[in-house]
Amino acid sequence: MQKLLLLHGAIGAKDQLQPLADLLKSDFEVHTLNFAGHGGEKMPEFFSIELFANNVLTYLEQNNITKINIFGYSMGGYVALYLAKYYPNKIEKIFTLATKFSWNPDISSKEIKMLEPNKIEEKIPAFALLLEKRHHPNDWKVLLKKTSEMMIALGNKNCLTLQDLTSISTRAMISVGDNDNMVTLGETKEVAQNLKNSELLILQDTLHPIEKVVVDNLGMEIKTFFK
């Protein structure tokens, strides 16, 4: 049975991917993990794509996995392609969904405005409570601050330039929802076109949040691609 690792997005945790994991467990040996500082994992000094990639490498080593398929949602997809760039021998195939690849200072400034704890508490208190519970015992406000700092760093220096992408030969499915308000179809197409061995998938009637994705439809696409 093929091994499949599911990677969550920024300010998320592996519990968000459990419905997908449950759907896929009869077809794959499914693995999930929480990135450092997420889902109650020990909070590091700072967040970075390199750090999260190392979290994956450590997980593979601890579980005696030499090579694995990865489904990466949002930031998880970015981490997956970073691994394919620098550790290609560890990655079989990659399926990304709703991953933001285009970063510059202006984009980072726009994105971090959605990560202001006071505004979240004021405008969407239920989400604030969810973040508090999801990342306990860590302080969710610290997590948002470190995520914002990572986004600013990405804006100043994108870890995956288009030139980097052209050197990746790992087979990949690059997907985005047609109603995603955070990731553009243009940036998604550009990445798919620059990868040597990739396909583009546009999911119909699909928003950015993983909770809004129709799990059955996504699961079918994942099964088709990896099998």
CATH code linked to domain 3-102+160-226 = 3.40.50.1820
Q: Which tokens hold the place of 227?
A: 């099998």
- Residue 182 CA to residue 176 CA, distance in Å, equals 10
User: Which are the contacts of 125, defined by CB distance < 8 A and separation ≥ 6?
Assistant: none
Report which secondary-structure segment, H or E, holds 125: helix 125-135
Q: Give me the tens of pLDDT residue by residue for the chain, a chain 227 residues long.
A: 999 999 999 999 999 999 999 999 999 999 999 999 999 999 999 999 999 999 999 999 999 999 999 999 999 999 999 999 999 999 999 999 999 999 999 999 999 999 999 999 999 999 999 999 999 999 999 999 999 999 999 999 999 998 999 999 999 999 999 999 999 999 999 999 999 999 999 999 999 999 999 999 999 999 999 98
10 Å Cβ neighbour count for 62? 9
**Residue 85's pLDDT is what?**
97
- 30 forms beta bridges with 4
Q: Where are the domains of the chain?
A: 3-102+160-226
Furthest C-alpha separation in the chain: 47
Strands (E), the chain: 3-7, 29-32, 68-73, 91-97, 171-177, 198-203
Phi, psi for 60 (deg, rounded to 5): -60, -40
Q: Which of 67, 65, 69 is nearest to 93 (CA)?
A: 69
Under DSSP, the state recorded for 72 is E
Under DSSP, the state recorded for 82 is H
In angstroms, what is the C-alpha Rg of the chain? 16
Amino acid at 110: K
Edge-to-edge, what's the strand order for the sheet holding 91-97? 29-32, 3-7, 68-73, 91-97, 171-177, 198-203
**Residue 227's pLDDT is what?**
87
Phi, psi for 3 (deg, rounded to 5): -90, 135
User: Which are the contacts of 180, defined by CB distance < 8 A and separation ≥ 6?
Assistant: 98, 206, 207, 208
